[in-house]
């Protein structure tokens, strides 16, 4: 008997029929003698609908109240799934984040989990009850509802698995595993049997939305056995193997050089032109950006000419307008010539632990993009990834040609 945490995403619970299928799948695992905690997302499209509703009332919704509104989506699906399980004769009990006591900080709309009280869930599990928990939500120390950032149900699942020391955390979604890139963009993308934790962390942080980055961080910190699977097959049949996130690397012989291509559309670039090239300038530009709680991703400072230089960085597109306004102020202080911005850029990245032992990946990336006439605006690298910023209109082309150039469409040997 194992303790398994399963998480079902929005598409998997997108209709009453699908919820009934989830109940059948859960029932099958339960019949096999396993203890089950099931985390669910809101029905697909529901969180977007709730945000749009909030914006009809307040252009920039109050974060505390937005969390109150957004958290309702998952409250519907936990109740419906519990009913569906009761209908097939099983004992099930739904819990909101606050009822479990998923304790978070008070950073509304992007709260972090601080701790989870597992006694109530344990008592249910011990008497054969299936525990159903609302994903994406928690409660701060003053009892306020909080949410964990878009895609946060993944993190609820992995955090529960860590707290309960579960044998496995299964993320059920609308694809049957982690692919070499988003199969919606490249139909030739292939499912990976395994992906290393390090690679998954990079892919998630570089935009592969199949797992929320924080869920991968949690899995790494608590060594949770994490698997991505499809919920869309016959619920009465054993599902395929999905993709296992591993903590060990394959031998260098078996390890592909590049495991996947990730991309992110939510990027924007800002440039301060003609700033004096002197110590402290990066701090004077980025200090006010940090104070406004805006995350900066890539940074480039050009070689100076005649005592001045250009300084560029990227931020999330949703922070673009705020960052631009801050730079207009900064411009006065640092006596810069001008501020330029571009919110029609994207970032495309090749990720693979095999890069460590294979030189030439960067040049192959640049050559592949050059052959398509795609101009590279910014570059950043780490040991296991290379990222480029390009015009948004080239996103799909860049992903496709890199996927092909690194032979990701071919079955590995
Ligand atoms: P859920 O609602 O189940 O959480 P998401 O939409 O958040 O599902 O994540 C699944 C989606 O992630 C897939 O439908 C796919 O389009 C996208 N995706 C992006 N990159 C990848 C990848 N490398 N492998 C698989 N899916 C990916
Ligand atoms: N329902 C939330 C969202 O759409 C959380 C999740 O689905 O993981 O972001
Ligand atoms: Mg998701």
Indicate if ligand 1 lies below 6 Å from the C-beta of 175.
yes
How far apart (Å, rounded) are the C-alpha atoms in residues 146 and 94? 18
Ligand nearest the Cα atom of residue 46 = 2
Q: What is the DSSP string of 229-285?
A: EESSS-TTSPP---EEEESSPPPTTT--S--EEEEEEEEEEEEEEEEE--TTHHHHH
* Beta strand spans in 247-400 (E): 260-276, 296-301, 308-316, 338-351, 378-382, 385-391
The answer to pTM > 0.75 is: yes
388 assigned to some structural domain:
yes
Count CB neighbours of 362 within 10 A: 14
Are residues 242 and 271 located together in one domain of the fold?
no
Ligand nearest the Cα atom of residue 190 = 1
Indicate if ligand 1 lies below 6 Å from the C-beta of 230.
no
Are residues 217 and 124 located together in one domain of the fold?
yes
Spatial CB neighbours of 215, under 8 Å, sequence gap ≥ 6 = 154, 155, 157, 158, 159, 171, 204, 226
410 assigned to some structural domain:
no
Are residues 158 and 216 located together in one domain of the fold?
yes
Are residues 12 and 133 located together in one domain of the fold?
yes
227 assigned to some structural domain:
yes
Are residues 345 and 376 located together in one domain of the fold?
yes
CATH code of the domain covering residue 363: 3.30.2130.10
DSSP 42: P
CATH code of the domain covering residue 75: 3.40.1160.10
In the reported structure, the alpha carbon of residue 346 is separated from the centroid of ligand 2 by a whole-number distance in angstroms of: 23
The residue contributing the CA closest to ligand 1 atom 4 is 9
Are residues 240 and 376 located together in one domain of the fold?
no
Indicate if ligand 1 lies below 6 Å from the C-beta of 176.
no
Are residues 186 and 45 located together in one domain of the fold?
yes
Which is the closest atom of ligand 2 to the Cα of 149?
9
Place of tokens 């070499």: 180
The residue contributing the CA closest to ligand 1 atom 27 is 182
Residue 37: which of 241, 224, 178, 242 has the closest Cα? Answer: 224
pLDDT in tens, the chain (413 residues): 899 999 999 999 999 999 999 999 999 999 999 999 999 999 999 999 999 999 999 998 999 999 999 999 999 999 999 999 999 999 999 999 999 999 999 999 999 999 999 999 999 999 999 999 999 999 999 999 999 999 999 999 999 999 999 999 999 999 999 999 999 999 999 999 999 999 999 999 999 999 999 999 999 999 999 999 999 999 999 999 999 999 987 666 667 889 999 999 999 999 999 999 888 999 999 999 999 989 999 999 888 788 899 999 999 999 999 999 999 999 998 899 999 999 999 999 999 998 988 889 999 999 999 999 999 999 999 999 999 999 999 999 999 999 999 999 987 64
Are residues 33 and 120 located together in one domain of the fold?
yes
Q: Which domain does 272 fall in, by range?
A: 260-405
DSSP SS3 for 385: strand
Count of the separate structural domains present in the chain: 2
DSSP 91: -
Measured at the alpha carbon of residue 15, what is the angle toward residues 191 and 61, in degrees to the nearest 5?
90
Which value, to the nearest 10 degrees, does the dihedral of the CA atoms of residues 285, 291, 297, 303 take?
10
Ligand nearest the Cα atom of residue 174 = 1
The residue contributing the CA closest to ligand 2 atom 8 is 151
Are residues 26 and 134 located together in one domain of the fold?
yes
Indicate if ligand 1 lies below 6 Å from the C-beta of 152.
no
């Amino acid at each position: 008997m194992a303790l398994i945490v399963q998480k079902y995403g929005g598409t998997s619970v997108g209709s009453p029929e699908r919820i009934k299928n989830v109940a059948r799948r859960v029932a099958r695992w339960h019949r096999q003698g396993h203890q089950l905690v099931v985390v669910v997302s809101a029905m697909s499209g529901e969180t977007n609908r709730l945000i749009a509703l909030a914006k009809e009332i307040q252009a920039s919704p109050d974060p505390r109240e937005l969390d109150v509104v957004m958290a309702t989506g998952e409250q519907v699906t936990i109740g419906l799934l519990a009913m569906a399980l009761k209908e097939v004769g099983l004992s099930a009990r739904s819990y909101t984040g606050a009822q479990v006591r998923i304790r978070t900080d008070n950073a509304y709309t992007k709260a972090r989990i601080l701790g989870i009280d597992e006694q109530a869930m344990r008592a249910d599990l011990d008497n054969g009850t299936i525990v159903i928990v609302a994903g994406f939500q928690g409660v701060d120390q003053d009892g306020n509802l909080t949410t964990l950032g878009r895609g946060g149900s993944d993190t609820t699942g992995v955090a529960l698995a860590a707290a309960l020391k579960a044998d496995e955390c299964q993320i059920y979604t609308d694809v049957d595993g982690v692919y070499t890139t988003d199969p919606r963009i490249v139909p030739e993308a292939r499912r990976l049997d395994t992906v290393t934790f390090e690679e998954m962390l990079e892919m998630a942080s570089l935009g592969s939305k199949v797992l929320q980055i924080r869920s991968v961080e949690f899995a790494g910190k608590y060594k949770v056995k994490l698997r991505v699977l499809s919920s869309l097959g016959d619920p009465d049949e054993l599902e395929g193997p999905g993709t296992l996130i591993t903590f060990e690397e394959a031998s260098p012989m078996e390890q592909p050089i590049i495991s996947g291509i990730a991309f992110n559309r939510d990027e924007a670039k800002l440039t301060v032109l003609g700033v004096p090239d002197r110590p402290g300038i990066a701090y004077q530009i980025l200090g006010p950006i940090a104070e406004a709680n805006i995350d900066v991703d890539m940074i480039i400072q050009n070689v100076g000419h005649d005592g001045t230089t250009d300084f560029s960085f990227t931020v999330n597109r949703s922070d673009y307008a705020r960052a631009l306004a801050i730079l207009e102020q900064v411009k006065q202080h640092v006596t810069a010539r001008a501020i330029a911005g571009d919110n029609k850029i994207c970032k495309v990245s090749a990720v693979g632990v095999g890069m460590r032992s294979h030189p030439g990946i960067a040049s192959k990336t640049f050559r592949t993009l050059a052959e398509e006439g795609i101009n590279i605006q910014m570059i950043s690298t780490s040991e296991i990834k290379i990222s480029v910023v390009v015009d948004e209109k080239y996103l799909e082309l860049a992903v496709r040609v890199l996927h092909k150039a690194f032979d990701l469409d071919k079955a590995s040997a």
